[in-house]
Amino acid sequence: MYAAMQVAMQWKELDAAHLAVAMSAMEPSLRREHRERMARLDLQREAAQQQQTERQQRRAHRRHVAELIVGAVVALAMLGGGVYVAPDSWWLSTLLCGPSLLALVKIFVLRRSDPGDMAAVAGAARSSTNAGTPPPVI
């Protein structure tokens, strides 16, 4: 386009007929330059979009790995805690190693939680605490 403008500036002193001929001669080069510029912009846009997609995939992968690590640490901590407190209070051990362990690992690793999971955790907690309390003294 710059070359076309230079030619137009050089021919500005010509009459209208000669200028029209010059402009019609420059039109194909202007169209070609425009197509090239548009193709270059499309390629840049596609490259930027691909980079953004790759960044999002890397971020999602890092988050997934972090969730797996957190799930493993929580599971190991609950299992270790359940084994540690087992001799003193077996009911607390069942709370730590029972359905609550599975529900938390499912939340961290699979990233989903079903209402049935929470109902199982609540039922296990209720039965463990009921079994662990001594009967009332009359």
CA distances from 125 to 64, 87, 119, 128 (A): 29, 18, 10, 5
Segment 48-97, tens digit of pLDDT? 999 999 999 999 999 999 988 988 898 899 889 888 988 887 777 877 78
Q: Please tell me the distance from the alpha carbon of residue 108 to that of residue 92, in angstroms, as a whole number.
A: 22
> Mean pLDDT for the chain?
81
- pTM value surpassing 0.75: no
